[in-house]
Chain A
Amino acid sequence: MSERSFRAARRRRVAAVALALSAATLTGCATSSPTEQASADGAQQGGTVQIALPDDPTCIDPQQTGQRNALEIVRGVVDSLTDQDPETGEIRPWLAESFTVSEDAREFRFTLRPDVTFSDGTPVEAEAVQSTFDWLAEQPASGAAAYIQGYTGTEIEDPLNLTVGFEQPNAQFLQATAGTSFGILSPASAGADLAARCRGEFIGSGPFVVQSYTPDQDAVITRRDDYAWPSSLATNPGAAHLDEVRFLFVPEDGARAAALESGQIDVSETVQLADQPRFDGNGFSLLTTINPGAAPPLSPNHDGVLGDTDVRRAILLGIDREELVRTVFGPEGRVATGVLSSTTPFYVDQSAEVRYDPTEAAALLDGAGWVPGPDGIRVRDGVPLRLVWLIPFAAQPENEQVQQQLRRLGIDVVLDVVTAPVYVERQDRGDFDFTAVDVSRADPDVLRNLFLSTGPNLWGLPGGELDTFLERQAGLADSAQRQEAVDGAVRLLIEGAHTIPLYETRLVHGVTDDVRDLRLDASLRLTLHDAWRTG
């Protein structure tokens, strides 16, 4: 299902969004055998892992694209200032051995670990952090650059100490520094040609370097032998175990699964539901987790019929999420229990409000003047209750399931499937009743990106008190206070049914047993630095 959310328009908004987007998972098997002896932790050295990705990102510069396949390739090539614990959501040291956030969440001070070098031999010092962030702040304020809005500059105290400042409180920035798009690039990269950077000509300090990127074919990263500064969460203290990782672009789901089964690749990213049982055992395993961020919703346009809170609330209560998930995603599916998915830091359980109550839903619609017409579709003043759901690319089973459920309530949902450019244009223009936009990021600030009335505000949200909560959560460095602000925001979102959460998405990758210690980090990218392969 993560593949599903990957497709479509969500592809553009969602996938792009993500600093911490769901990363593609790669697992790979090696084509060559390990040749050196096992290291202290039992990991064998050497070998290649081949990973099939569903799409060619067309640009692999982590600062120019939020595309998840691009960030998956580059995660091993760039190091970030911090890392995020996938279990707790806590921010931990990486290139920065320590960091502090000012009380007003406007200043972030980092102390870099010494003796770190980029792959071109130049040192990773405060100047590189400065040039990386300066460059990012100049980009159009969206995607990764959205997380650095209000940037006032990076002050360098000495080569290892620096402070990043913002005009306004910006608590989410600390989590952003853990992302691949905030990976530190050499000062020379900041001056490089944009198109060249897209083709992989940038310099990071990670355990791998970009060997080649051939559009529509593959991307290859190779080990850097002198690497010795992994994240504090890594199990491997030194250079990567693998010699090489090769990412193949295989758009066809069935072909990816077949290649994994036949041993031609080691990891198949986003394995479809029907193929999953084949890789659960039999020499394979499934690497899976629930995407953090905003749970995939129906996003109602407040201009039009859905401007009526009672109609939106009726839809919130009129969807049988258990049935939806069981039918579309099988036993592994999970219903949404709130605006945020359950794996997001600061998640709030709202299952008491996000519930199925067809009786109350019908009563709300009756009260709003929408009464059942002769064909079962509700009518008010002679106008049938018909809602247009704008869908990019192709309708998915969950679209049809929601359509059927709302039909039972007397609502006629039209699945309006359009091409990606038309989707973008019509959503920007507000020419729709529903879209479905979710954003993956292991930070509750996704709420502000999606729902702040002064932002893109694609669905015409009202602002007011909701904006206050959204802005406050972004400005509070204190966890307990931030939780309160998040609580307030998600409560208002559900009370007003400004978003209608449906289900949680799961990222599922198939991995051969020949590859060990491959995990997903907090942003759902593969930990290739720790991975190794058996003979």
Chain B
Amino acid sequence: MTAGAGVARYVAGRVGRTVLVVWAAFTVTFLVLRLLPGDPVALYLKGTNGYGEVTDADVAAARAALGFDRPWPAQYVTTLFDALRGDLGESIRTRQPVAEMIVGALPPTLQVGALGLLLSLLGGLALGVAANLASSPAARQLLRSLPALAISVPTFWLGLVLIQVFALQLRLVPSLGGSGFSSVILPAVTLAVPGAALVAQVLGKSLHDTLREPWAETVRATGAGTARLVLGRGLRNAAIPAVTVSGLLVGGMIGGAVVVETVFARPGMGRITQSAVAAQDLPVVQGVVVVAATVFALVTLAVDLLYPVLDPRIRSTGRLVPG
């Protein structure tokens, strides 16, 4: 088999898997939302119109208008085909097209998410390398323990502490809002801390193992210092697990957006998700999940496609070879 055919098969397999993941996310969400107890249409009508005298006929009429009165399989088929055409339905509460809501909410979330991702990678890289370079055992121990601590800190608490320190005490940045670059910093840092910890942990461990492989001894024997060994060769060899983790980070950013956007009162996907879940606004929850799953699946695909570039052994076999 030629290397080219191997790559083609590898790519085709990964793309197929991506489509499957998005479809599965759509279907599972659809089913779970229909299985939830409670009637979101009744909640909407009674919740906003008072404690009262909304009749069953009012609720039935609203359900019919939204298409919720039809059998599940029929709803499923319509919703799926609409989604394929880019039509994610309308919000129960605002009657606004879900696709339009998501398109409006994506840019602010992407801003924070992108900066958060960057800070996660840089911070994690710095910490992971430092933990392997530090000469004193005490410093190494400390640097290795930091990620565990950072991962355990609840995001909302961290956000509130950052607001207290940087917005209230030091007055360096605004505490909330969606305007200007300065308002992105605190949310991005909050989002980045658990991610950076994850990268530092995985990269640190991977580097640690890599440096104990026989070839590293050979390099050391040529007189190369630890720093050169780590930065020159170790990082590249330790990169695969770190790249894998980066894919997971994107998932973490999507989930973290819910907390961070609520704490910092920023508009975005997280806010939409939070309020839609609270009100059981089915079409919005469905739309958000599908979009988030698509983003996550695409990132995973990109990571999968990067492996052969990083590791030539994958290029020829189409398989990830245990390192």
B-binding residues in A (CB < 8 A): 11-14, 16-18, 52, 56, 58-59, 64-67, 139-146, 194-195, 198-199, 214-217, 248-252, 254-255, 258-259, 261-262, 264, 419-425, 428, 437, 439, 449-450, 455-456, 458
Contacts and interface: CB of A to CB of B under 8 A. Distances in A.
Nearest to A252: B263
B42 A425 contact: yes
Contact of B49 (A140, A215, A425): A140
A255 B163 contact: yes
Nearest to B272: A216
B94 A58 contact: yes
A252 to B, nearest CB: 5
Contact of A142 (B43, B49, B267): B49
Central interface residue in A13, A419, A449, by most chain B CB within 10 Å: A419
Contact of B164 (A140, A258, A450): A258
Contacts of A64: 48-49
Given A264-B174, A425-B37, A59 B51 contact: no
Contacts of B268: 216
Contact of A143 (B52, B160, B263, B265): B52
Contact of B163 (A18, A254, A428, A449): A254
Interface stretch (B53-61, B114-122, B199-207): B53-61
Contact of B265 (A16, A252, A420, A437): A252
B232 to A, nearest CB: 46
B43 A421 contact: yes
Top 4 nearest A-B pairs (CB, nearest first) are A421-B38, A143-B50, A12-B47, A13-B51
B163 A139 contact: no
A420 B43 contact: yes
A140 B55 contact: yes
Contacts of B45: 140, 142
A424 B40 CA distance: 9
B168 interface: yes
A144 B43 CA distance: 17
Given A13-B51, A248-B176, A255-B160, A425 B39 contact: yes
B167 A17 contact: no
Given A252-B262, A264-B176, A425-B37, A195 B54 contact: no
B299 interface: no
A262 B168 contact: yes
B313 interface: no
Interface stretch (B124-132, B145-153, B273-281): B273-281
Nearest to A18: B50
A249 B265 CA distance: 7
B137 to A, nearest CB: 40
B280 A216 contact: no
A421 B267 contact: no
A258 B170 CA distance: 13
Nearest to A195: B95
Contacts of A249: 265
A215 B53 contact: no
A3 to B, nearest CB: 15
Contact of B48 (A65, A264, A437): A65
Contacts of A215: 94, 96, 101, 267
B52 A449 contact: yes
Interface string B85-107: 00000000111100001000100
Nearest to B174: A264
Interface residues of B, number: 50
Contact of A250 (B40, B96, B160, B176): B176
B107 to A, nearest CB: 12
B58 A258 contact: no
Interface string B161-191: 0011001100100111110000000000000
Given A258-B164, A420-B279, A146 B50 contact: yes
A254 B160 contact: yes
Contacts of A251: 262, 265, 274
Given A141-B53, A248-B177, A254-B160, A424 B43 contact: yes
A11 B48 CA distance: 9
9 contacts: A17-B50, A66-B50, A142-B54, A215-B101, A216-B271, A258-B167, A421-B43, A424-B46, A425-B42
B46 A142 contact: yes
B221 interface: no
A216 B105 contact: yes
A216 B267 contact: yes
Contacts of A428: 42
B160 A16 contact: no
A140 B46 CA distance: 10
A14 B52 CA distance: 10
Contacts of B49: 16, 64-66, 139-140, 142-143, 145
Nearest to A65: B48
B267 A59 contact: no
B263 A455 contact: no
B36 interface: yes
Contacts of A455: 52-53
A302 B178 CA distance: 49
A422 B42 CA distance: 10
Nearest to A251: B262
Contacts of B296: none
Contacts of B278: 419-420
Contact of B275 (A58, A258, A421): A58
A133 B177 CA distance: 38
A18 B49 CA distance: 9
A391 B289 CA distance: 28
